[in-house]
């Protein structure tokens, strides 16, 4: 380690290098705190030139590099590699340029998601992707994970709201993908980079789209006495040609804990609650609210409430936005899964998850980006009880396999990281995984950027095929847990 620190100190100021245990301890995990690994060194570069210099040293010494944003990710994508370097982009936090005429903003990767909207607000604009962690998460991390949020149904994920990414590869090349124009020549490598989980390059600058803030927004809150009716209602709203600004579902348990936490006005006896938002000009919103209310009533809604003003709209959303911390109040620990399924299977999947609760003896609260089928089961457990976390992992793996079984995918917006790397073996063939690895090699021939994340090796898939998680062996047994 001493030689690596000395080499890095030759190209970076001392203030940019953390090497003592007490300094590096806060970087041992991301939001998936169940898996931890102490980094050898943490780097905090302050500009692109320092990032290039740091990568050159790591390449020369063959040191693994894990790029890190705010550390709010939930799949272990920013968890350190043993004997490696964490490269944080937190100090690259300037909004370089905001152009209200072109409706774009050029930002560094350490700029917080919400800070973009705050800067654009005086111009009547905002940045649409709104993950629940938007107050803390950074745009570099959003690019790495292709983050979404409750309004992604209408406004899209990160990939739909980014025009250009500038990044440094491990061979020291500065690459610009995309363009501030309507299109860029050549292959669409921008879409490859977004969601690549820090495996292709270190992002140094991002150009994002800004959209006009709607003149008015209102929410319909619908209660259902049956989860099947609620699932059918989601599919029927979309089938009616309505694309709400947001369409979220919460089951009874998540509704009850959220209501106790924030007092959003939810029906705690409902089997499921839907939040359907419309935004735009007043006349458009009024018509869309009426149409959604009609569809929801026809699908068996037992109660409908429409927000009367902005304060009530935010109150309705507060429960959904705070569902994760609300569950944290009733369980010592919880494991947040992330998968995506066809909307028509929402009710079926919820019923299967309910059966899994009995199988594993663990409770599960469900919150969904129902409009695009992105589910977030929150599996509750107590890490102090031997074997409970292992059961939670098995429960989660079963949910992901169920997503694939019904024609979905093992992730929606949290990424693969280390959490879902075994489940990649279930969804993709060896030929497909080889193609993913070939793309990584093209950008990172040295193989030092976030190695052993997201794309499983042939050996890992063979091992997983033999043990299939539930046969008693704990994945990542070499990593400390809690």
| DSSP result, 282-324 | HHHHHHHHHHHHHHHHHTT-SEEEE--SHHHHHHHHHHHHTHH
pLDDT of 283 strictly over 90: yes
Q: Where are the beta strands (DSSP E) in 210-362?
A: 211-212, 216-224, 246-251, 272-280, 303-306, 333-336, 339-340
Q: How confident is the model at residue 2 (pLDDT cuts 50, 70, 90)?
A: confident
Residue 381 lies in a domain: yes
User: Could you tell me which of 454, 463, 478 has the C-alpha nearest to residue 200?
Assistant: 454
Cα 39 to Cα 58: distance, rounded to the nearest angstrom: 14
473 within some domain = no
Tell whether 345 and 382 lie within a shared domain.
yes
- Structural domain harbouring 29: 2-88
Cα gap 35→3, rounded to integer Å: 28
**The tokens of 288 are what?**
């869309």
pLDDT in tens, 104-151: 999 999 999 999 999 999 999 999 999 989 999 999 999 999 999 999
CATH number at residue 75: 3.30.43.10
Is the predicted pLDDT of residue 284 greater than 60, yes or no? Answer: yes
Answer yes or no: are the C-beta atoms of 36 and 79 closer than 8 Å.
yes
Domain annotation covers residue 382: yes
**pLDDT at 276 (0 to 100):** 98
342 or 477: which leads in pLDDT: 342
pLDDT band at residue 357 using 50, 70 and 90 as cut-offs: very high
Residues 431-468: tens digit of each pLDDT: 999 999 999 999 999 999 999 999 998 888 988 877 65
Integer Cα distance of 107 and 69 in angstroms:
14
Same domain, 71 and 128: no
> Dihedral sign, CA of 226, 230, 232, 236?
positive
What percent of the chain has a predicted confidence (pLDDT) above 90? 91
Q: Could you tell me if residue 299 is inside a domain?
A: yes
- Of the candidates 130, 41, 31, the one whose C-alpha atom is nearest the C-alpha of residue 83 is 41
Residues 6+ apart with CB under 8 A from 115: 95
Q: Locate the DSSP E strands across 354-439.
A: 364-369, 374-381
pTM of the predicted structure, to 2 decimals: 0.92
Same domain, 140 and 34: no
In this structure, the answer to whether residues 225 and 195 fall within a common structural domain is no
CA angle 45, 46, 47 (to 5 degrees): 100
Output the CA–CA distances (angstroms, integers) from residue 360 to 13, 141, 377, 389, 440, in the order listed.
Answer: 51, 33, 14, 11, 37
Strands 104-107 and 202-209 turn out to be: antiparallel
- On whether both 76 and 144 belong to a single domain, the answer is no
Q: Give the residue from 179, 186, 177, 264 showing the smallest Cα distance to 443.
A: 177
Report the b/e string of 152-165 with b at 16+ CB within 10 A.
bbbbbbbbebbbbb
Assess whether 76 and 143 both reside in one domain: no
130 shares its domain with 189 = yes
Cβ atoms of 24 and 41 within 8 Å: the answer is yes
Instruction: At 220, give phi and psi (nearest 5°).
Output: -100, 125
Q: What torsion, rounded to 10 degrees, do the Cα atoms 15, 20, 22, 26 define?
A: 70
Measured distance CA(22)–CA(482) in Å, rounded: 18
Output the six-digit token pair for 253. Answer: 């348990």
* Residue 367 to residue 369: CA distance in whole angstroms: 7
Mean pLDDT of the chain: 94
Domain boundary among 300, 325, 350: 325
Closest CA to 205 of 138, 160, 152: 138
* pLDDT average, residue stretch 19-42: 96
Residues 80 and 102 in one domain: no
What pLDDT score does 445 carry?
95
Tell me, yes or no, whether 176 and 119 share the same domain.
yes
pLDDT at 469 over 50: no
Residues 167 and 220 in one domain: no
Please state the rounded mean pLDDT for residues 47-57. Answer: 98
Tens of pLDDT, residues 166-195:
999 999 999 999 999 878 888 899 999 999
Q: 367 in a domain, yes or no?
A: yes
CA pair distance 43, 17, nearest whole angstrom: 5
Backbone dihedral angles phi then psi of residue 176, each to the nearest 5 degrees: -115, 120
Cα(315)–Cα(258) distance, rounded to whole angstroms? 11
Last residue of a domain, which of 66, 88, 110? 88
Instruction: Name the domain boundary from 88, 115, 149.
Output: 88
Domain count, the chain: 4
User: Is 130 part of any domain?
Assistant: yes
CB 85, CB 40: distance < 8 Å = yes
Residue 232, in any domain of the structure: yes
Average pLDDT over residues 79-96: 97
Confirm if 388 and 331 have CB atoms less than 8 A apart: no
pLDDT at 463: 83
**CA distance readout (Å), 39 to 24, 36, 67, 201, 314:** 7, 10, 12, 19, 40
Enumerate the H helices of 10-136 as residue ranges.
21-24, 48-61, 113-120
| CB of 97 closer than 8 Å to CB of 120 | no
**Does residue 307 lie in a domain region?**
yes
Write the CATH number for 139. Answer: 3.30.465.10
Q: Are 32 and 324 in contact (CB under 8 A)?
A: no
Residues 203, 266 within the same domain: no
Cα separation, 337 vs 394, whole angstroms: 11
Same structural domain, 289 and 353: no
């Amino acid at each position: 380690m001493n030689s690596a620190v000395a080499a890095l100190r030759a190209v970076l100021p001392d203030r940019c290098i953390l090497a003592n245990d007490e300094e590096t301890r806060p970087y041992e995990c991301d939001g998936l705190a169940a898996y931890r690994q102490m980094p050898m060194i943490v780097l905090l570069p302050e500009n692109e030139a320092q990032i290039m210099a740091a990568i050159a040293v790591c390449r020369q010494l063959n040191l693994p590099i894990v790029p890190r944003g705010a550390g709010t990710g939930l799949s272990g994508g920013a968890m350190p590699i043993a004997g490696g370097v964490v490269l944080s982009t937190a100090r690259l936090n300037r909004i370089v340029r905001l152009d209200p005429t072109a409706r774009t903003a050029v930002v560094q990767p350490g700029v917080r998601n919400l800070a973009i909207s705050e800067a654009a607000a005086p111009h009547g604009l905002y940045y649409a992707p709104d993950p629940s962690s938007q107050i803390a998460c950074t745009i570099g991390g959003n690019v790495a994970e292709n983050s979404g949020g409750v309004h992604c149904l209408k406004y899209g994920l990160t990939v739909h709201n980014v025009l250009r990414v500038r990044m440094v590869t491990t061979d020291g090349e500065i690459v610009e993908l995309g363009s501030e124009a309507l299109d860029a020549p050549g292959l669409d490598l921008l879409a490859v980079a977004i969601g690549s989980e820090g495996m292709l390059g270190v992002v140094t600058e991002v150009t994002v789209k800004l959209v006009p803030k709607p003149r008015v927004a209102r929410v319909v809150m619908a209660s259902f006495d049956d989860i099947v009716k609620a699932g059918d209602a989601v599919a029927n709203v979309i089938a009616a040609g309505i694309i709400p600004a947001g369409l979220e579902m919460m089951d009874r348990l998540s509704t009850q804990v959220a209501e106790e936490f924030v007092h959003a006005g939810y029906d705690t006896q409902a089997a499921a609650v839907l939040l359907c938002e419309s935004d735009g000009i007043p006349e458009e919103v009024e018509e869309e609210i009426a149409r959604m209310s009609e569809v929801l009533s026809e699908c068996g809604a037992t109660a409908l409430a429409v927000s009367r003003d902005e304060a009530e709209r935010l109150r309705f959303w507060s429960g959904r936005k705070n569902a994760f911390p609300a569950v944290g109040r009733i369980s010592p620990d919880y494991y947040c899964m992330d998968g995506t399924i066809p909307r028509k299977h929402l009710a079926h999947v919820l019923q299967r998850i309910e059966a899994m609760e009995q199988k594993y003896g663990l409770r599960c609260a469900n919150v969904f980006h129902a409009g695009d089928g992105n589910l977030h089961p929150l599996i509750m457990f107590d890490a102090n009880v031997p074997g409970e976390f292992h059961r939670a992992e098995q429960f989660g793996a079963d949910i992901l396999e169920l997503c694939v079984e019904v024609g979905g995918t093992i992730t929606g917006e949290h990424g693969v990281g280390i959490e879902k790397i075994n489940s990649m073996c279930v969804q993709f063939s060896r030929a497909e995984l080889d193609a993913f690895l070939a793309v990584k090699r093209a950008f990172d021939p040295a193989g030092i950027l976030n190695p052993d994340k997201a794309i499983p090796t042939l050996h890992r898939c063979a091992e997983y095929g033999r043990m299939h998680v539930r046969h008693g062996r704990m994945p990542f047994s070499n990593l400390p847990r809690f």
